[in-house]
Structure 1
Amino acid sequence: MDNTVGDFLQSRRARIQPEDVGLPPYGRRRVPGLRREEVAQLAGVSVDYYIRLEQGRGKNVSDAILDAVARVLRLDPTEHAHLRDLARPGRAAPAAPSGGVRPGVRLLLDNMADCPAMVIDHRMDVLAWNALGDAVHGFAGDASRRNMPRRVFLDPEAADLYPEWAAVAAETVAYLRFGAGRHPDDQRLTALIGELSMKSEHFRRLWADHLVREKTYGVKRISHPVVGELNLGYETLALPGDADRTVVVYTAPPGSGAAERLAVLASWSAGERSASADASAPDAPSPGAFRQR
């Protein structure tokens, strides 16, 4: 896994031109952006010290120096946190164990009956969902859909499901890289990144950009095979006592087309569940399985 502090810092140096920070653009540059010597000068540290940081030999680097480097490279808050994770990997929190979620969290999901909702971890494994979340994504019917990066990059139908696939793909990689920086020793996460790198050229290209982003809130368009296009907002809620797991809740303004389609989908989903329950009775016909387009 190539999420070293040096790779990240080099990618961020390349974004900034000398004139952007008040330096003369003297001399021919072999690579775009700031030189290491210029970053060190602007951050107020020695060149040797900054080089050691890029080489991953700065595990005892202070917050003040990391803050200064972040300021020079114009890192946003998520990138700043990512730099701290990479520079001092021994201080990263251990990954939460795999498995299900607390009964109280499942009850919370079920009580949000009007909103599709799910719980994901830092690997973007889907650990739990409510009925409407299943109706939107089809988690219960197909276990391969329960890891969002695999679904986005390896499912040939992903581009149909997500009309804005390119934006979803970039967001997915940025969130996965943030988790990788926080948990560099997570073997399952390392294996997932290796699998995606081998199987998807799109993933390899996006991974090389070193974009990082926390999953917070936004808007997602989903093309559903039953009710058509859903324009949904989403919010992510951290679970107390479990920083690696978040509740993702999709929302639609009351009276909007998306809200009406969710209501139709909820009714359709209830009918499907009722048919499945009837099918468990003797001599009952087997209902058709839910399938995404």
Structure 2
Amino acid sequence: MERHEFGTAVRQLRESTAPAAVGLPVGRRRVAGLRREELGELAGMSADYVRRLEQGRSHPSAGVVNAIARALRLGRAEYERLCALAGYAAADGQVPNEIGQGALRLLERFTDTPMFVSDAAMNLVAVNSAFLALGHWDLTGEPFEWNIAWRTFCSPFANFRQSAADAANHQAVLAAHLRGALMRYPADASLAELVDEMRRRSRPFDTLWRAPRPVAAHESSAAFIHPEGGAVTLVGSMLAIPGDDLAALMLTAAPGSTDAARLAEIVEGVGEPAIVRVGQPGPG
């Protein structure tokens, strides 16, 4: 019964939503509201899946409910009603960016390993001095200059090189993380603005957003070109910090390799280890 009630609610909302209200051209239409194909395009799912939802033949995940709510630009009351019909509590609030003790301990214990902590929207929250020593994170003055996804798709680093395969996997991971964040935090206006602006500025990101690629692994290799000359190739491995909805990325070199020796030289020259909270003056 709940599936049919949810499906009926989605169909009624779709048919009562004016195309102009969700940024679509009006044109000449045979039916009122949105077509299934249009809702699917806006929500990142197929028209066939929308049809199965409306017919009560598929049960939506919480992420699907959030995606539909954002696509239709629902108000709070309608969003809560959809969540209730699907059997979920309504998600709300902003992406958390407070770094907890668990994340701080990671940064403190791996002082010789370049590492940063980011929030669910891929904004850097804190970095260690070993990461800063790589010298590749130049500041651009743009509003999203500390966002990993933005820098990758819209403002690439000059001193950062990846193979085509590593770059493709890295991009798929970032797009998947942003999609997941938007589903969990549909009320975060800054996150929605970031995604919309990235879709406008970057065709590769917009393509990934419309047709997500499977993530092969949550790690990739890259060459960091140090300002003083020479490159060091490191593998970035992402670790989830679920309690705070944060993620940590560690950059390591193969043990005993030339890159490991070069990394040790770079890190050794930074002086006293420190944790820097991004957006705040001085060490954390």
Q: How high is the TM-score relative to the length of structure 1?
A: 0.58
Residues 163 and 222, structure 1, Cα contact 8 Å, conserved in 2: yes
Give the deviation of 1:124 after TM superposition.
0.2
Provide the residue aligned with 1:10 in structure 2. 46
Question: C-alpha distance in 2, partners of 1:171/1:137?
Answer: 23
Provide the residue aligned with 2:185 in structure 1. 183
Give the deviation of 1:260 after TM superposition.
1.2
Note the residue ranges of structure 2 that are not aligned, 5 or more in a row: 1-21, 24-37, 67-82, 275-284
Structure 1 residues 137 and 123: CA distance shift in structure 2, 3 A? farther
Q: How high is the TM-score relative to the length of structure 2?
A: 0.60
Aligned residues: 210
Provide the residue aligned with 1:111 in structure 2. 109
Residues 173 and 218, structure 2, Cα contact 8 Å, conserved in 1: no
Residues 220 and 234, structure 1, Cα contact 8 Å, conserved in 2: yes
Supply the RMSD in Å over aligned alpha carbons. 3.7
Structure with more contact order per residue of length (Cα contacts < 8 Å, sep ≥ 6): 2
Provide the residue aligned with 1:210 in structure 2. 212
Question: C-alpha distance in 2, partners of 1:110/1:140?
Answer: 24
Note the residue ranges of structure 1 that are not aligned, 5 or more in a row: 12-35, 40-49, 67-82, 274-293
Structure 1 residues 104 and 272: CA distance shift in structure 2, 3 A? closer
Alignment of structure 1 residues 137-216 onto 2, 5 Å:
145-155=145-155, 157-158=156-157, 160-164=159-163, 166-167=167-168, 168-211=170-213, 213=215
Residues 177 and 210, structure 1, Cα contact 8 Å, conserved in 2: no
Residues 135 and 226, structure 2, Cα contact 8 Å, conserved in 1: no
Structure 1 residues 266 and 160: CA distance shift in structure 2, 3 A? closer
Structure 1 residues 233 and 138: CA distance shift in structure 2, 3 A? closer
Question: C-alpha distance in 1, partners of 2:180/2:263?
Answer: 31
Give the deviation of 1:245 after TM superposition.
0.7
Structure 1 residues 102 and 271: CA distance shift in structure 2, 3 A? closer
Once the two structures are superposed, residues 120-176 of structure 1 have per-residue CA deviations (whole angstroms, 9 ceiling, x without a partner) of 111100101111122236559677542111211222x43651333642333322322
Partner letter of residue 117 of structure 2? V
Larger Rg: 1
Question: C-alpha distance in 2, partners of 1:272/1:205?
Answer: 40
3-state SS in 1 of match to 2:134: helix
Question: C-alpha distance in 1, partners of 2:272/2:243?
Answer: 37
Question: C-alpha distance in 1, partners of 2:111/2:150?
Answer: 27
3-state SS in 2 of match to 1:88: helix
Alignment of structure 1 residues 45-194 onto 2, 5 Å:
51=51, 53=53, 65-66=58-59, 84-89=61-66, 90=83, 91=88, 93-94=91-92, 97-103=95-101, 105-136=103-134, 145-155=145-155, 157-158=156-157, 160-164=159-163, 166-167=167-168, 168-194=170-196
